[in-house]
Structure 1
């Protein structure tokens, strides 16, 4: 069966909703008393009630017959939390899920089925961005999914699954910001499977927060290039060419200009990063 690993940093008021959506999931084929779904939440470096909020749902997971554990770590590190979750997992198939993701009812079952094969496989669903409050975030959220990297293939943002053969391709996830790209780029396009089921997550609110998130993404890719240049080469082209950029502009000028303004501002000293793992959600 499959183990869902949820690293969590300062997710009070958020983790409960995400786990509640997970509880509404359809049972994957083959799951049951002898082969239950397993959920491992790993709060790391939290100063709030993330762990307590997650543990409050333990009876609900038990009622479903799913294994459930919350393993706290003092160190604030998503990669260390992922490594701890992987080490604790008892199932050969793994699903990585950000703590602010809301899965649709069929996603877990679809991903479990997609990676149920002997050859190395990576699988992801169809992401949706939840409605934003600020104009900048609404425009950015409207445009960003149209970029070729996001619209084609399996980007794996926020949720991804691998099987045992795929997991065997790395030992430990190194300490870097772009953990999702580290995992994804171990797989060739032919080894990736996109399932039609959806999931959603919130976008950073406000122009400054968008800049900080984009800066962190750029830093993550730079770190990955320094530590594992072979994985960056596997990623392929992420930016649109001139022709694609023109088509994107003509389709959505306001979204394009917002995205471009964020990209330009990232190169300035404005809106410095607050912390390595801060998601810059703004007011909750």
Structure 2
């Protein structure tokens, strides 16, 4: 069996309703010499069985597919389990509810060529949400500095071998994607033009829970890895900039502000999915 150039690791917890679309798009992406490792972890549904059902489709597309079914949950543990058996020098880490466009994986492979440490991602698109609350929040959020920054990498990020050597095991922290992105200086982060669909969670309460988790994740990184956040390099949002955004989209601003206020009024911890 040929050693793959690219290993795509998909941690999946109770993702039976989403993993099929994720794998269908991945295997249609045209990448060659690639493998996919789905790590079902702590699932109470048929995630592993559904993923295994795509074995023939993977083979027909020239992909190798491995499905691990771990009894314990936890995304960092799932990422580490996938990494331990991955054979590709290039590694991509993909959320199970993300749908990649057909040219994306080939563009990531090309972007990660060379010996210098590199981090790469695609261009995220948020599909139209069902609820007006999420539509308004997402519309405003996409105009904020982080979403507008180069290679934010939410839902999908990839590294070459030298980049993967920047850290060992994934630590047991909330925000694995932020941790990895900040292992790289801004000039080492690449965003390719090919897109991927990254759904945002539906409803005010769910948005508040996710935002609380995101804030806690950033605070945790700042506490455990002092100075790492200095590599973020996103543009600062001045009061004048915020006012301009609010005037451009009053409903979006009001929704985003209401979620932010709800987070401040009720601090908490715990995991919730980004969708």
User: Taking structure 2 as the reference length, what is the TM-score of the superposition?
Assistant: 0.94
Q: 1:24 aligns with which of 23, 28, 31?
A: 28
The Cα offsets for residues 242-278 of structure 1, whole Å up to 9 and x where unpaired, read as 12212211221111111111011101238x66x52x3
- Measured on the aligned residues, the alpha-carbon RMSD in Å equals 1.5
Q: 1:14 aligns with which of 11, 18, 24?
A: 18
Q: 1:61 to 1:195 in 2, by over 3 A?
A: same
Number of equivalenced pairs = 271
Q: Give the C-alpha shift of residue 14 in structure 1.
A: 0.8
The Cα offsets for residues 74-119 of structure 1, whole Å up to 9 and x where unpaired, read as 2211011111111211011011100000000011110111011110
Tell me what 1:218 maps to: 215
Moved more, 250-259 or 104-113: 250-259
Which ranges of structure 2 fall in alignment gaps of 5 or more residues? none
- For the pair 1:121 / 2:118, whether they are aligned, the reply is yes
Tell me what 1:43 maps to: 40
Tell me what 1:150 maps to: 147
Tell me what 1:244 maps to: 241
Distance in 1 (CA, whole Å) between partners of 2:132 and 2:11 is 30
Q: 1:239 to 1:41 in 2, by over 3 A?
A: farther
Moved more, 122-131 or 241-250: 241-250
The Cα offsets for residues 109-134 of structure 1, whole Å up to 9 and x where unpaired, read as 10111011110001111101111111
SS at match of 2:147: helix
The Cα offsets for residues 119-166 of structure 1, whole Å up to 9 and x where unpaired, read as 000111110111111111010111111111111211001011100001
Q: 1:239 to 1:207 in 2, by over 3 A?
A: farther
Q: Hey, which bits of structure 1, 4+ residues long, moved more than 4 A?
A: none
Which ranges of structure 1 fall in alignment gaps of 5 or more residues? none
Distance in 1 (CA, whole Å) between partners of 2:92 and 2:7 is 6
Q: Give the C-alpha shift of residue 280 in structure 1.
A: 6.8
Distance in 1 (CA, whole Å) between partners of 2:111 and 2:74 is 29
SS at match of 1:71: strand
- For the pair 1:182 / 2:179, whether they are aligned, the reply is yes
- For the pair 1:167 / 2:167, whether they are aligned, the reply is no
Q: 1:258 to 1:176 in 2, by over 3 A?
A: same
Tell me what 1:4 maps to: 8
**2:186 touches 2:233 (CA, 8 Å); kept in 1?**
no
User: Taking structure 1 as the reference length, what is the TM-score of the superposition?
Assistant: 0.91
The Cα offsets for residues 18-61 of structure 1, whole Å up to 9 and x where unpaired, read as 1111111023xxx3xxxx20100001111110000100001111
- For the pair 1:136 / 2:133, whether they are aligned, the reply is yes
Distance in 1 (CA, whole Å) between partners of 2:200 and 2:262 is 18
Distance in 2 (CA, whole Å) between partners of 1:175 and 1:239 is 29
Q: 1:225 to 1:280 in 2, by over 3 A?
A: closer
Tell me what 1:80 maps to: 77
Moved more, 221-230 or 189-198: 221-230
